[in-house]
Amino acid sequence: MRNKIIHLICLIGLVFCASACHHHDDDDPVAPNSRTVLIYIAGENSLSSFINKDIAEIEEGVKKINPKTDHLLIYIDDHSQPRLIHMSTDKKGNATQDVIETYTEHNSVDPTIMRQIIDQAFKAYPAGSYGIVFWSHGEAWIPAPSTRSEKKILAANEQKLEWWGSDTMSNSYMNITDMANALKSTKHLAFLFFDACYMLNIETAYELRNVGDYLVSCPTEIPGPGAPYQDVVPALFDKTENVGKSIANAYYTYYKALYNNGIRISNDNWTGGVSMGTIKLNELENLAAQTAKIISANIKDGEVIDYSDIFCYDNRKPNLYYHDFKEFMEKLTNRNGDYMTWKSAFDKAMIYWVTTPANYSSSIKSMFDIDSNAGGLPIYIPRQFQEQEIKNYFHTLAWYSAAGWNKTGW
């Protein structure tokens, strides 16, 4: 009798396994509803003092996610040993940090290093989807200063330019084209979120269009304290198609509540507002095609382009790089039928854009109004006095040809 009972139990077990194993697969790290997010902190620079505060915010945020399906990893390169950690919670709901690996001193903005870190992180915690947060300084698509004359940079911008990420120990920066190459062989990303200044612009987004679904960032300078990770971390694990909006909205909502037109502003009381936006990357090729029709038809033979009445997101003098894309297209077309077709493509790509009435700029050390007609997405408008190295680099961007600039004499 005992043997028969054992046999019956075994049969029941097999039947249960056949029906339940698939459910178990849904709960393991490679289930479709799981996600691994890497926060990549290139912080061996003037921002290093913000890292510990952000880690404390992340500890609060991680308490709001599911430790069974949601895996948050943080790579930190500050002024101590670079390290990769896994942030989670214990059975009591307390935040925990497990060191996956420490590294010898290296250059966090070297494309090979970045690719290795990302691959290691995603291999350690395979998931149904992936996302990356890029934490550092930012200067959009502008080429890194290591390739250019420091004298020219200072003359043109009154300060040192920094592309995304700076590593002062290596005196290195990462160009947008190098980042695109570093990411193209990694897992496809549900989102790229840049917690860095000036990273929401059409040239950067177009270069990265094939590596992820959404790009989230700020078209101007971000607040001094950066992302409020206690609110942003849960948004990083939104498994729906709204994830790009969720991240931008979590960032914006926090600073909107504090907004007071910059009165008594400090890094501990950021009353200076913020602008945030989200781009749907798979809509950019259509937007480029519509843009090319307008640009190639309206700009000829390197003619001077008047951008004086187009809103600029960059308050450094002179205003070199980040003018409003929508207003530029309006000016070229006088809002004709071509513009309406373009605007339809733009709206499908620029799916979310929110801003406080004004933002604080450290460049001018004061607030500046955001144009109510602006579309939230900057574009580079070539001009005669731009240094040649900038122009040459612009020609290497995928956007240059896709948007028709190669037919304008610029």
Nearest to 114 by CA among 56, 167, 57: 167
Establish if 7 belongs to a structural domain.
no
Q: Return d(Cα 253, Cα 233) in angstroms, integer.
A: 14
For 293-311, how does the pLDDT look when each residue is reduced to its tens digit (9 = 90+)? 999 999 999 999 999 999 9
Whether 143 and 231 map to the same domain: the answer is yes
Q: What is the span of the domain harbouring residue 269?
A: 29-280
How much is the pLDDT for 384? Answer: 76
Same domain, 91 and 200: yes
- Is residue 339 predicted with pLDDT exceeding 80? yes
- Report the Cα–Cα distance between both ends of the chain, in Å, rounded: 89
- Percent of the chain exceeding pLDDT 90 equals 68
pLDDT band at 6 (very low <50, low <70, confident <90, very high): very low
Q: What CATH code is carried by the domain that includes residue 147?
A: 3.40.50.11970
Q: What is the pLDDT of residue 145?
A: 56
Residue 21 lies in a domain: no
> Are 276 and 399 members of one domain?
no
Give the pLDDT confidence of 89-110 residue by residue, as tens digits.
999 999 999 999 999 888 888 8
Report the C-alpha gap between 22 and 238 in whole angstroms. 23
Q: Given pLDDT bands bounded at 50, 70 and 90, which one contains residue 52? A: confident
Hey, CA dihedral for 115, 117, 119, 122, is it positive or negative?
negative
Residue pair 255/356 in contact by the 8 Å Cβ criterion: yes
Supply the mean pLDDT for the chain. 86
User: Same domain for 80 and 161?
Assistant: yes
CB 341 within 8 A of CB 290: yes
Those residues whose C-beta lies under 8 Å from the C-beta of residue 339, and which sit 6 or more positions away, are: 294, 329, 330, 333
pLDDT for 120-173, tens place per residue? 999 999 999 999 999 887 776 666 654 444 434 433 333 333 365 555 555 567
Predicted model pTM: 0.87
At 345 the pLDDT is 98
Give CA–CA dist 202/323, Å, rounded: 11
Distance CA(88)–CA(139), nearest Å, equals 32
Query: What pLDDT, in 10s, does the model give residues 18-40?
Result: 333 333 333 454 888 999 999 99
The whole-number pLDDT of residue 177 equals: 87
The answer on 128 and 50 residing in a single domain is yes
Residue 289 and residue 266 share a domain: no
